[in-house]
Structure 1
Amino acid sequence: MKILTYNAISLFSGAMGLDLGIEKAGFDIKVCVEMDKLAAKTIQENSNIPVINKDINKVSTEEILQTAGLSREEVFLVVGGPPCQAFSTAGNRKGLEDFRGNVISNYLRVIKEIQPQFFIMENVRGILSTEMKYVPDEFEEYKDIVNLKGSVVYFLTKEFEKYGYSISFTLFNSANYGVPQKRERVIIFGHKGERIPLPSPTHSSTGDETGNKWVSFSEAIQGLDPDKHDYIELSERMKHYLAFLSGGQYWKHLPEDIVQEAMGKSYFLGGGKTGFYRRLSYDKPSPTLVTSPSMPATMLAHPEELRPLSVQEYARIQQFPDHWKFQGSIMNIYKQIGNAVPVGLGYMAGKTIMDFYKGDYDKTREKTNKIPYSRYKNCSDFEFLPIFEKEIEKNKLSIETNEQIELDLIL
């Protein structure tokens, strides 16, 4: 059957950052599933897309298709970023019911029941190290990967393969794709056919390798009305110490005689603590946006002014259009924007699918890629999976050795 429209279903839609990028790439989103009431209102305020405002655990695949006005055969793409969860030991008490209640399991369920040609699953970097703490008897084949770092991604890959999908994934630095933010996210591509090669970066820190330099904070906020900035005021204490710093600096750049006073008990904590009194730099991309830029340990302050980034600046960094109207309080708006996928990263993911489908892509791009997808190693499927399978073998050997020792002791 020839595809006349590129119909897409969005799960865990949030404020639609990923979806706006998917639409920009040429897809037609027919339904959004989002349990947060204010995020759902944001979608309704800005689009005509029907929204299922419920917990996905309580949403059947039939309801999703009916609301979208589509048959299974008409769904070209499913997209979504389910919150990253371990399959916890709580499952020992609730068994398969608990396992299926996990939101990632529900993403799997929808893919299995709809069988779209393509899917995109987005997640945080932590999913690459998240462990499965438990599997019910129905998934006994995975008992050898329980408690291994990265077992959730391995489980997902193998389950998707069962449904007939080829999988590719890596950790992408958003700045490498024209986003004014160094935000790192895992994107998994699935196709009912051959594996999709990962897209090469279009931007780099210097621009030498790609021809395009990273987009800076100053470029992102260009043209914003200086008199229209909504934000939560910092405390007078925070403002006092922030005044000692300029763009690109943080607590370590405070005068030596006030550093300990400014940091208080946090001064003695381990780690770099780079979020304390952190000002953005005009000429670099923003750090990863958080759900509140005014918290002491995750501050995102303006390069010059004594304030955190405004919601308007937040929206620009995440590449939402200026006309996008977020619903809720300022705190909730920060949360919606901070939790979103940058529109540019969504566009990259959608364009990867569209170009692949149309045959308009470089099949050798992974081999000829000039810069890493992110700052971390072994995050791509062709690196990650072989390494993980070696860990499985080590784990099996360790279990067998321990069992033999226990047997010898008994005898």
Structure 2
Amino acid sequence: MAHTAIDLFCGAGGLSAGLEMAGFSVLAGNDMFDAAGETFTRTHEGAKFIPGPIQDLSVERLMEVSGLKRGELTVLVGGPPCQAYSVYNHQRGMHDARATLFREYLRIVEGLQPEWIVMENVAGIYSIGGGEAVHAIKTEMRALGYDVKEKVLRAEEYGVPQERRRVVFIGNRIGAPISHPAPTHGEGLLPFVTIADAIGDLPILANGEDPGPVAYACPPQSEFQRLLREGLELVTNHAAPRLGKANMDRLAHIPAGGSWRDIPHDLLPAGMKRAKRSDHTKRYGRMKWDGLSCTVLTKCDIHWGAFIHPEQERAISVREAARIQSFPDAFEFSGSKTDQYIQVGNAVPPLLGKAIGEHLLFCINNHAKNRAA
């Protein structure tokens, strides 16, 4: 019997894609972002997308869609919206309504009674109220009969070409030992996947150019590219945002690996003219071919991060951001360009999801063997 999953706050389905790579059958996803739902529907053929806020989602609807009874689901996964927890939100705190959405997730847990649960969020969740959010999540999971452990996972240690930290909660109600996947990349392991490995085969773009589906620039140059291309001949969503003249003038002064510090003082935005040289280390950053990306955000805005192409005078395209998140090229993102960047930036990197899924299967199988012995 296939191991099954349902994905809450699923977005475009990055975590679902990773679970499917690992061997899970994803039966349903829920999100209130319509454009993400269109992407999810097109890229997860075996899953039913249920639109709307989680507050309106009933356990009965999930059982109807999945064909499962209470207690039959293998794993319920979800990443409640992270804005209230993120270090980028200076007003974050448990008073923010978004910080209590995990209780809606737990309502579904209580109704479905999955064997396993997985929740992920940004590392900033640790700093709310001295750890109040983390403590509340674990306490409420345990009250429902789930043993839970959480750990910060680094996406780059699982083959994702970016520095990205996520807190992953794993729990179960079946008494199985809980652990997290061991890193596969890094010192003494496989080498990190670089920007060149990730996007070096994509066509040259001008600032603001949107060519539509377009042929790759060359055959795959890395195992990562072979994996994500899956034999496709055309690449979609390879569209660059249009930067204004002031930003284009700034780009001309920034070398690979450089940042706002390389821009002449008179060309800096007014607010940055007063900044300390030690501040805002990623702003107006240009990527390096042999390096990792900074964390992909919901806006690949060069004013906020290192989102300038290593060589070309432009910001990275939607597809380049998706590659850096480890999305297969078969994912065609729906909606406006803004919608597409949001879907990519909000996602769990599929290869991180795959590592979590494979480790869950290892834990499940080990527990079954031990019970049978």
Give TM class, smaller chain: 0.7 to 0.9
**3-state SS of 2:23 partner:** coil
Please give the residue correspondences for 1:273-288 in structure 2 after superposition, counting only pairs within 5 Å.
Answer: 273-288=280-295
The structure with more radius of gyration:
1
Q: Which residue of 2 aligns with 1:220?
A: 198
Aligned AA (2:177): R
Note if contact 1:118-1:189 (Cα within 8 Å) is conserved in structure 2.
yes
Note if contact 1:234-1:294 (Cα within 8 Å) is conserved in structure 2.
no
CA shift for structure 1 position 350: 0.9
**3-state SS of 2:247 partner:** helix
Q: Which residue of 2 aligns with 1:245?
A: 254
Distance 1:262 1:177 in 2: 37
Q: Which residue of 2 aligns with 1:266?
A: 272
Structure 1 stretch 153-162 or stretch 262-271: which is displaced more?
262-271
CA shift for structure 1 position 344: 0.9
Distance 1:110 1:244 in 2: 52
User: Please, which of 69, 72, 97 is the counterpart of residue 70 of structure 2?
Assistant: 72
Note if contact 2:300-2:316 (Cα within 8 Å) is conserved in structure 1.
yes
Aligned AA (2:157): N
In angstroms, what is the RMSD of aligned CA positions? 2.1
Q: Which residue of 1 aligns with 2:228?
A: none
Please give the residue correspondences for 1:138-217 in structure 2 after superposition, counting only pairs within 5 Å.
Answer: 149-192=130-173, 193-204=175-186, 207=187, 209-210=188-189, 212-217=190-195
Q: Which residue of 1 aligns with 2:105?
A: 107
Distance 2:180 2:73 in 1: 23
Pair 275,260 (structure 1): closer, same or farther in 2 beyond 3 Å? farther
CA deviation digits over 1:193-241, x for unaligned, max 9?
143122221111xx3x22x111001001143233643011111111112
1:17 aligns with 2:24: no
Note if contact 1:167-1:195 (Cα within 8 Å) is conserved in structure 2.
no
Distance 2:359 2:273 in 1: 45
Note if contact 2:196-2:290 (Cα within 8 Å) is conserved in structure 1.
yes
Distance 1:111 1:283 in 2: 43
Please give the residue correspondences for 1:367-406 in structure 2 after superposition, counting only pairs within 5 Å.
Answer: none
Which sections of structure 1, spanning at least 5 residues, go unmatched?
Answer: 91-97, 132-148, 361-411
User: Please, which of 112, 115, 118 is the counterpart of residue 117 of structure 1?
Assistant: 115
Distance 1:268 1:352 in 2: 48
CA deviation digits over 1:119-171, x for unaligned, max 9?
1101011111123xxxxxxxxxxxxxxxxx11111111111112222211111
CA shift for structure 1 position 322: 1.1
**3-state SS of 1:351 partner:** helix
Q: Which residue of 1 aligns with 2:328?
A: 321
Distance 1:246 1:19 in 2: 37
CA deviation digits over 1:262-299, x for unaligned, max 9?
24222324662123211111101111011122352335
**3-state SS of 1:72 partner:** coil
Q: Which residue of 2 aligns with 1:27?
A: 24
Distance 1:51 1:338 in 2: 20
Note if contact 2:176-2:363 (Cα within 8 Å) is conserved in structure 1.
no
Note if contact 1:292-1:334 (Cα within 8 Å) is conserved in structure 2.
yes
Distance 2:306 2:287 in 1: 10
* Number of corresponding residues: 325
Pair 40,278 (structure 1): closer, same or farther in 2 beyond 3 Å? same
Note if contact 2:116-2:170 (Cα within 8 Å) is conserved in structure 1.
yes
Distance 1:269 1:52 in 2: 46
Aligned AA (1:297): W
Structure having the larger proportion of residues in helix: 1
Which sections of structure 2, spanning at least 5 residues, go unmatched?
Answer: 85-91, 206-213, 215-237, 368-373
Structure 1 stretch 7-16 or stretch 316-325: which is displaced more?
316-325
Aligned AA (1:66): E
Distance 1:57 1:336 in 2: 21
Q: Which residue of 2 aligns with 1:144?
A: none
